[in-house]
Amino acid sequence: MEAVAAAKPVIKVAALCGSVRKGSFNRSLIHSAIEISKESIKGMEIVYIDISPLPMLNTDLEVDGTFPPVVEVFRKKILEADSILFASPEYNYSITAPLKNAIDWASRPPNCWADKAAAILSASGGSGGARSHYHLRQIGVFVDLHFINKPEFFLNVFQPPSKFDSNGKLVDAEVKEKLKGVLLALHAFSLRLQTKHLK
């Protein structure tokens, strides 16, 4: 009998939005990423994780090695993911407070981010969030995340024509193609990391 080729593993991606406002363009990017992965990228499953319920980091809330229930649930989802997809606007040249708070909670010992692949999307004004990417990458060094280097994704949401429809849904075909490129790179890099660990 011919040997049956082993199926490639499904890469489970946890997607976090740094903006907690209802009409967030960055959350729209995540929803578009989920759609693209389902339609075009075999072996990738993206799950959006809402960080808005997390309390502000306070180690007084840690009791006998346990965290508040909402934090425990969040940490478990990060731990079970193979890769991370961040989508966040730029605030004051950096990442948002809610995103930093989420990163800090999941970095509390034992660190849930360690050795995972990651990618960054940003929809913002000005440079489209470019400066915030580098702060996030610096944080990633300490928490042991491995970011893809290329392609980078910065989207100026105020530069016409609008890339989103009246409901906030991403409709620009060129932007969608760039988003797909990021997802393909994240998928490939995640598989490379997994293969390295199996050697």
pLDDT digit string (tens) for the chain, length 199 residues: 444 445 668 999 999 999 999 999 999 999 999 999 999 999 999 999 999 999 999 999 999 989 999 999 999 999 999 999 999 999 999 999 999 999 999 999 999 999 999 999 999 999 999 999 999 999 999 999 999 999 999 999 999 999 999 999 999 999 999 999 999 999 999 999 987 665 5
Q: Residue 104 is inside which H or E element, if any?
A: helix 97-107
Q: Is 170 helix (H, G, I), strand (E, B) or coil?
A: strand
Q: What is the sign, positive or negative, of the torsion defined by CA atoms of 73, 75, 185, 179?
A: positive
Cα 136 to the center of its chain, rounded Å: 11
Is the CB of residue 126 less than 8 Å from the CB of residue 91? no
Residue 78: C-alpha distances to residues 15, 74, 82 (Å): 9, 6, 8
Question: Residue 65: its pLDDT value, please?
Answer: 87
Question: Residue 4: its pLDDT value, please?
Answer: 45
As beta bridge partners, residue 44 has 11
Q: Nearest 5 degrees, angle CA 171-CA 177-CA 180?
A: 110
pTM of the model: 0.94
What residue spans define the domains of the chain?
A: 11-198
Question: Residue 9: its pLDDT value, please?
Answer: 83
Question: Residue 7: its pLDDT value, please?
Answer: 63
Give the closest residue to 48 by CA, choosing from 16, 21, 83. Answer: 16
Question: Residue 1: its pLDDT value, please?
Answer: 42
DSSP E strands, 53-169:
83-87, 116-124, 145-147, 154-156
- Cα–Cα distance between 180 and 34 in angstroms, integer? 10
Question: Residue 195: its pLDDT value, please?
Answer: 79
| DSSP class of 177 | H
Question: Residue 199: its pLDDT value, please?
Answer: 55
* Gyration radius from the chain CA atoms: 17
Residue 134: C-alpha distances to residues 28, 105, 120, 129 (Å): 22, 20, 10, 10
Level-2 CATH architecture, domain 11-198 = 3-Layer(aba) Sandwich (3.40)
